[in-house]
Structure 1
């Protein structure tokens, strides 16, 4: 992204608190353009998930601004919020709670298509569901089954398919592989890599796991106690961090893949 392009999503000097006695974020700024990948890392309680909620329009900042395509995000603006929901989709941590057990896989994937007015024609919806299941390496006939028929890794791929349904430009992923067994994590990571390469989908990855960030993200931002302490290319931060806190995070990882 060049300096003249408007970021798709941004936080502009944002503070956030849960009431006066629970400050969470302090003067946080970040930007994310189409096709970009950013890893947001830090220890538990650093404020990572609060950043995600602000960008999704699920919380409002105490100070500062959330910007969507250069304009302040106003939750009272229905057209703007609908556009945000279509272009920015979340992928949550727990694949076992992110899918409604009463809905078939096909109905779950189709839900955002209908809710966001992307498509309501039955034939078009069914075609899109089959296309999405194939994209995440599941058979199209999985659409007729219920979530309890699938493993954790398969459920997470279904959740990713649902997020992809309205053809978003960005995925906001909150610890998307941390609830999965080690043996299936790499399959989901490879899926994210393929989506980025083939479809140009950008991603904000919230994680405490630097190995995942190194595999998926070009840039990295480090949060400590709700403040940005360091940011830059992932390779630079992992290879030669300038802040002690970042260095401690890197040192705590037994082995990192080459970046």
Structure 2
């Protein structure tokens, strides 16, 4: 399964999954249809599925036109998003599995950014290979999504599920927010040498106009403050000693950064 990153809108990423053997494709969170249709035409591939993580328009805006072009495709989304995702046919819950070509993804329910958010995790096929996590707006490189419909407790629980996945997991998040996220992270966790090194790498990529996505989950665990709410130095930095309160304070500070 090849993952092709497509740019959309001002800072969105769409992910096209391509199976070369069957020449079929699936798309994760099509913010708009045209970048997807253009790449499908280049590949001469048939689109068979849309995997939506949540209902926001910058993740489902391309659904309608893609369905018109490929009426046999299947639209997947979370069960709690019923009625909010255009064309949704499959209503997924925690522990469900979905298949694309010969790969099977685990569905993880991660409310917080929205009440219905899900992510798709494809475990590695072989030892030493990477897993693939399509996490929408729940986890960003260096950050996490705003809490529009969920609570800090829900988001900590959701991010705990993601944090439990293997370090060697590629994180395919839906926005290019990394540089600003890391600037904020350094304001709290400036002595973190892993964070300093990652920030320098990201600066180089962005100065070249290159994407920072995917990141690696192992790097996120060491550098992302929204996966480190139980770290004593971060708790001290925000004057909190409880995991949820620490997370909530960090999220509030990021909102105003």
TM-score norm. by structure 2 comes to 0.35
User: Highest relative contact order (Cα 8 Å, sep 6+), 1 or 2?
Assistant: 1
TM-score norm. by structure 1 comes to 0.34
